[in-house]
Structure 1
Amino acid sequence: MLSKKICTALFLTSSLLAPLANAEIKIGVVSSSTGPIALVGIPQKNTVALLPKSVAGEKVTYISLDDGSDPTATVKAFKKLIDEEKVDAIIGPSGSGNAMGVIQFAAESGTPMLAPVGTAAVVLPMTEQKKWVFKTTQNDDLIASALVDQMKSSGVKTIGLFGTADPFGENWSKVMKELTKKAGIKIVANEYFQRQDTSVTGQSLKILIANPDAVLIAAPGSSSVMPQTTLKEQGYGGQIYQTHGAALDPFLRLGGKAVEGTILAASLMLVLDEVPDSPSKAIATKYVADYKNLYGKTPATFGGNVFDAGLLLKNAIPSALKAGKPGTPEFRAALRSALEHTKEMPATQGVYNLTPADHSGFDERGRELITVKNGKWTLLK
């Protein structure tokens, strides 16, 4: 028979090892459910309830924090999730500028970050730090190329750019300069504004004086509305384009008649009833139905970006578990590697094909040309 001391030692050893053998997977989520980015962050926070609760037999726990749209609060939230909660990955934050400010912390800790933000600057150009970041929205150039092609086919020769003075608007300006030059379209005005501004009259007047054939507004969430309503109030009669940052129903409600006829390229989620059947349509349709059942309203596409992050993690976790236990550097590193090799994975926004050089991974299946007709989103035909 085993001595009492040996039995006690074995019991203590098994007690210590048991939590490791059944360690749960912990995913942090940082969203801006309050503050200026709330129209983006609220559906993202709400979507957490719809993310996978278990993967490959392992329990998945989500720790959700609100950064109030404040970049400083985003940093605090990331540090808390990494240092105190010891999460295996982080979904978020909601804002482009907020995301740019925490990439270093994800990289230093070796924690995969799935960013549901607009700017491609979080993953491009690829660097040692950015290799820990994956982007669950379409890169700006994919959306912009569809818009520029439409502009060219419509005879647009000159455009004005009107964007937010942050990574979102700045990257759009960079991308548009490259694409319009190739298309023979001249940029005659390039104005910026702050998301919290209560007036953009001065910038709008400068664009009106330049008299472009069309104007592209590059702004996320509710900040996309005021530039357009101001231009319309001042008598601008040209075509107005928006980015996928405006792809939410409050844009229609807040803009009213001023946004009628707007053209943008965005997710198929806006026009599910009009697009052909596909794996992405089926996933998006179920997500929308489940969200409506839980909250009584349709989610903005930004919520779909978080849902897709959950699907990407669900797809990558089984492979990562072969390399290490949740809560360990080995598991996080393997999770990053598995995410980087995602192939032909359909989700609400399109189909993901990730590579070491491309951490967004969308192709033309991740966008639709859409317009506003009779106050509703509809496919541009």
Structure 2
Amino acid sequence: MKLIRTVTLPALLAALSLPALAVKVGVITAATGPGASLGIPYKNTFAALPATLGGEPVSYIILDDATDPANAARLARKLVSEEQVDLIIGSGNVPTASAISFVASETKTPQIALSPLTGEPAKNPWVYSVSLPTTLQVGALAEHFAAAGGKQMGYIGFSDGWGDQAYGALMEHAAKRGFQVTTNERFARLDTSVNSQVLKVIGSKPEAVMLGVSGTPGALPHTALVERGFKGKIYHTAAIVNPDFLRIGGKAVEGALVAAGPVIVAEQLPESNPVKKQGLEFTKAYEAKYGAGSRNSFAAYSWDAYLIADRAVAAARRKAKSGTPEFRQALRDALEQTSELAGAQGVYTMSPTDHAGSDKRSVVLLRITNGAWMLNK
């Protein structure tokens, strides 16, 4: 005998009126520790975003990893096991983002890193990076140095994964451009002196120095170089583009050349630049929340992570319900199909072999002029 269920009209209406299941996004950044000058802006963006993601209600669970890779991994596991998040966004430093990536891979949870990760997608297909790839940043600096006839460049960087990554990219581009890297000096993020490293770099007689640093600790070797009388060019990556670096570095960092995403000079970009529109939209939304002049590069990467996730969630929800392994798989697949998405910091196209997706349209060369970021012309 077949059992036939009947549904009354009031019950049907009640079911239809139930709120949609929210997409859960775990956000891990460094609100404390040496990476806080980056992590706080990354975090702040989520309070300025719409209340939906891909047309679904969204819940952001925001945690502080204190710039500690072990803590970042622990928090990622907590988000997956206790909160059953559909997506992890973070973290804002290479060592912490890398630690999260192992958890993402193991638990099959999509991750959008806010710092550049160089892992091979074939080995870890669950991890994407929205930040400007290190090789593009350093390539722009190397091109500028070589075009001016430079032959010898010194290097000082953090004694961690970010320092290694920046140095590796510099060596790669030095070989391509035909100049020599004279030093490979390192220091810890919490060090208060780099005098010995700076003296070794100056002693190698380079025409320029590149610093593989980030945030406010990045001002330390720069000011030390200037104080010791170094007169050559000093190059930086996008990892120092925040107001605290300018405040701490002061006059010592004037004239520094920085390869960065374009949002910080959105108004200075030509109308033909594909990222100008989103750059200005991000600036309007962020400054409406945090005040005039609060715009920064790191917050803009969170904005771009949102834009990428928004499109991917819209595609994934047509295949599965949030909160399920099927949804996470569909979301991962949709992220990989991102194509020509213009954000505030670049144009993103992902593929099975490229989970960063940025190209040369995502990098500009800045010069610090009168305590401000200016497009180098």
TM-score normalized by the length of structure 2? 0.93
Superposition map of 1:2-151 within 5 A: 22-118=20-116, 120-121=117-118, 124-128=119-123, 130-151=124-145
Quote how far apart the aligned CAs of 1:174 are: 1.0
Give the corresponding residue for 2:222: 228
The aligned counterpart of 2:283 is 288
Between the aligned partners of 2:53 and 2:244, the Cα distance in structure 1 is 34
Q: Deviations over 1:282-328 (max 9, x none)?
A: 21112112211211241321111111111101011121112211001
- 1:150, distance to aligned residue in structure 2 (A): 0.4
Measured in 2, the distance between the counterparts of 1:250 and 1:281 equals 24
Q: Give how far 1:83 is off.
A: 0.3
Mean Cα displacement is larger for which, 264-273 or 190-199? 264-273
Query: What amino acid sits opposite 1:70 in the alignment?
Result: D
Cα drift, residue 249 of structure 1: 2.1
Q: Is the 8 A contact 1:52 1:314 kept in 2?
A: no
Out of 347, 350, 368, which is 2:343 matched to? 347
CA distance in 2, matches of 1:14, 1:89: 32
Structure 2 residue aligned with 1:171, among 158, 165, 170? 165
- Cα distance, 1:56 vs. partner? 4.6
What's the offset of the Cα at 1:6? 6.8
- Structure 1: 5+ residue runs without aligned partners? none
How far does the alpha carbon of each residue in 1:35-71 deviate from its partner, in whole angstroms, 9 at most, with x for none?
A: 1101001111111112332245421111111112222
Unaligned residue ranges in structure 2 (runs of 5+)? none
1:60 partner amino acid? V
Deviations 1:239-280, CA, capped at 9 Å, x for gaps: 111111111122221111111111111111121221112442
Q: 2:265: which partner in 1?
A: 271
Stretch moving more, 35-44 or 271-280:
271-280
CA contact (8 A) 1:27 1:90 kept: yes
CA RMSD of aligned residues (A): 2.3
> Which secondary structure does the structure 2 equivalent of 1:33 belong to?
coil
Q: Quick check: 1:20–1:325 contact (8 Å CA) kept in 2? A: no
Aligned letter for 1:295?
Y
Cα distance in structure 2, aligned partners of 1:264 and 1:184: 21
Q: What's the secondary structure of 1:101's corresponding residue?
A: helix
Give the letter for the 1:330 counterpart: E
Question: Matched residues in 1 for 2:33 and 2:306: separation?
Answer: 24
Other structure's SS at 1:91 match: strand
In terms of mean alpha carbon deviation, does 53-62 or 73-82 score higher? Answer: 53-62
1:238 matched to 2:238? The reply is no
Contact 2:54–2:312 (Cα < 8 Å) also in 1: no
Contact 2:267 2:280 in 1 (8 A): no
How many residues are matched?
372
Contact 1:267/1:368, CA 8 A, preserved across alignment: yes
Amino acid of the structure 2 residue aligned with 1:150: H
Distance 1:314 1:276 in 2: 27
Q: In 2 relative to 1, CA 375–39 (structure 1 residues): closer, same or farther, beyond 3 Å?
A: same
Alpha-carbon distance in structure 1 between the residues aligned to 2:343 and 2:326: 27
- Tell me: CA distance 1:274–1:6, structure 2 relative to 1, closer, same or farther (3 Å): closer
Task: Label 1:140 to 1:347 Cα distance change in 2 as closer, same or farther (>3 A).
Answer: same
% of aligned pairs identical? 37
Q: Deviations over 1:204-228 (max 9, x none)?
A: 1100111101000011111211000
Letter matched to residue 255 of structure 1: G
Shift of 1:20: 10
CA drift at 1:7: 7.3
CA contact (8 A) 2:113 2:128 kept: yes
TM-score (norm. length: structure 1)? 0.92
**Matches of 1:77 and 1:288, distance apart in 2:** 30
Q: Is 1:250 equivalent to 2:244 in the alignment? A: yes
Aligned to 1:328: 324
SS in structure 1 of the partner of residue 78 of structure 2? helix
Would you say the 8 A contact 2:267–2:276 is kept in 1?
Answer: no
Distance 1:256 1:39 in 2: 16
Measured in 1, the distance between the counterparts of 2:143 and 2:92 equals: 29
Query: For the Cα contact (< 8 Å) 1:50–1:307, is it kept in 2?
Result: no
1: CA distance between counterparts of 2:47 and 2:223?
A: 35
